[in-house]
């Protein structure tokens, strides 16, 4: 009894100082450390001649010290996969997994591009035309809507199978992985689709992918943190039975989560095909794995219930810095793949170790 009165009603208030150290802070520290490591490697490795990854001392003509060009490349590289990772983050938090996002990018890019083609290329008819004359020079909103609808449809199929048949998400989305690759190749019998309208080409031109990524990250940050949708996503991933007993429509919610993930992957396809001015059936190879890696590096727990959009954005930055860092220190591509794999495994192990420690402390 005496012990119970020691923390009375007074202790009930919201006390910021007692809050746990946020996982995102760890990811941020890791990001800074990794940047410093690559900086150091640039100085140490004999064949680098004291080059820097971030600081461009040689071409420091316009008075800036930061290597803006390289930083731009890093962010640009991760933006498109980052958009997919925003959706994958929600799926993983809800306790699922989405392996179909990479092939979905390929299929969506093919389909969208065929609605975004221009009639005349340098005065000649478009050599890559998929449909008849009606499909040329459509307003840009049409390919966008077609793409989002396709992504939503694929996501809804994923979600419906997972929610209603209770087959593991891994299997359902693995099947969809193959189906989407098939759709991408079947759409034009393997031919690339090219020559989009100017409006469409503007969607992914220059730094636009970064703009989309930042914008969507902000939107989904708010959605995951401040809306019922976000709360229920965490609840389902944390304890599905509790969520069901609390009156949450778990099936409907899961379908919605996969639909949003599908739409984000399709939007990534729009930005990617616009940036490249072409769509190919093989587009988005490994993107599903990279998107999952970004989320996991950012602290999203594969068992569901934990993680955040901020974490995934930071995870995407870590991913980008490591990838471009490897290129920077002239590590061959096959070593890069091996190292990436090792880093992903380490991130999960670290996360579990941290969780165990947190559980022991309390």
**Tokens coding 287:** 């993107």
- Binder of other proteins out of 55, 71, 229, 302 (CB under 8 A): 229
Rounded to a whole number of angstroms, the minimum distance from the CB of residue 45 to other proteins is 43
Contact between 357 and other proteins by CB under 8 A: the answer reads no
Contact between 362 and other proteins by CB under 8 A: the answer reads yes
| Apex 265 CA angle, 109 and 27, nearest 5 | 135
Q: Closest by alpha carbon to 108, among 288, 284, 289, 287?
A: 284
Contact between 121 and other proteins by CB under 8 A: the answer reads no
Contact between 228 and other proteins by CB under 8 A: the answer reads yes
Residue 11's CB is within 10 A of a number of other CB atoms, namely: 9
Q: Which is nearer to other proteins, 1 or 333 (CB)?
A: 1
Q: Closest by alpha carbon to 71, among 100, 35, 40?
A: 35
Rounded to a whole number of angstroms, the minimum distance from the CB of residue 92 to other proteins is 13
Residue 282's CB is within 10 A of a number of other CB atoms, namely: 12
List Cβ neighbours of 329 (8 Å cut-off, separation of 6 or more): 38, 41, 42, 45, 48
Contact between 2 and other proteins by CB under 8 A: the answer reads no
Q: Which is nearer to other proteins, 60 or 246 (CB)?
A: 246
* Site string (236-255) toward other proteins, x via CB under 8 A: -xxx-xxx-xxxx----x--
Pairing mode of beta strands 124-125, 120-121: antiparallel
- Binder of other proteins out of 9, 69, 141, 333 (CB under 8 A): 9
Q: Closest by alpha carbon to 159, among 169, 151, 150, 149?
A: 169
Q: Which is nearer to other proteins, 128 or 231 (CB)?
A: 231
Q: Are 361 and 310 in contact (CB under 8 A)?
A: no
**Tokens coding 174:** 């693995």
Stretch that binds other proteins, among 21-29, 107-115, 144-152, 226-234 (CB under 8 A): 226-234
Stretch that binds other proteins, among 71-79, 123-131, 190-198, 354-362 (CB under 8 A): 354-362
Contact between 1 and other proteins by CB under 8 A: the answer reads yes
Distance, in Å, from the CA atom of 328 to the CA atom of 332, rounded to the nearest integer, reads 10
State the residues that interact with other proteins by CB under 8 A. Answer: 1, 3-4, 7-9, 11-15, 18-20, 223, 226-229, 231-232, 234-235, 237-239, 241-243, 245-248, 253, 256, 305-306, 358-359, 362
């Amino acid at each position: 009894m005496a012990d119970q009165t020691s923390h009375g009603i007074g202790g009930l208030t919201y006390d910021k100082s007692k809050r746990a150290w946020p996982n995102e802070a760890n990811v941020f520290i890791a990001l800074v450390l990794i940047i410093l490591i690559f900086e150091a490697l640039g100085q140490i490795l004999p064949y680098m001649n004291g080059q820097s990854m971030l600081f461009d001392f040689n071409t420091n003509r316009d008075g800036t010290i930061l290597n803006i060009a390289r930083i731009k490349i890093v962010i640009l590289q991760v933006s498109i996969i980052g958009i997919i990772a925003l959706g994958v983050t929600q799926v993983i938090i809800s306790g699922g997994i989405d392996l179909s996002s990479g092939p979905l990018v390929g299929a969506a890019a093919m389909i969208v591009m065929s609605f975004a083609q221009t009639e005349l290329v340098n005065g000649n008819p478009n050599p890559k035309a998929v449909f008849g004359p009606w499909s040329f020079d459509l307003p840009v909103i049409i390919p966008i809507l077609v793409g989002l609808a396709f992504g939503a449809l694929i996501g809804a199929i994923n979600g419906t199978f997972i929610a209603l048949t209770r087959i593991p998400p891994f299997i359902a989305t693995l099947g969809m992985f193959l189906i989407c690759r098939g759709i991408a190749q079947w759409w034009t019998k393997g031919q690339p689709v090219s020559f989009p309208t100017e409006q469409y080409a503007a969607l992914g031109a220059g730094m636009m992918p970064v703009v989309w990524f930042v914008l969507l990250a902000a939107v989904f940050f708010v959605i995951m943190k401040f809306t019922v949708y976000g709360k229920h996503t965490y609840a389902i991933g944390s304890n599905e039975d509790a969520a069901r007993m609390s009156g949450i429509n778990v099936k409907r919610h899961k379908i919605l989560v996969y639909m949003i993930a599908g739409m984000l992957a399709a939007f990534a396809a729009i930005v990617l095909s616009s940036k490249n001015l072409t769509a190919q059936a093989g587009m988005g190879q490994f993107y599903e794995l990279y998107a999952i890696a970004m989320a996991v590096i950012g602290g999203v727990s594969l068992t569901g219930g934990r993680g955040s959009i901020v974490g995934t954005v930071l995870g995407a930055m870590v991913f980008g810095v490591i990838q471009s860092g490897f290129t920077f220190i002239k590590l061959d591509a096959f070593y890069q793949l091996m190292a990436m794999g090792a880093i992903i495994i380490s991130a999960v192990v670290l996360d579990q170790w941290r969780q165990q420690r947190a559980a022991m402390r309390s």
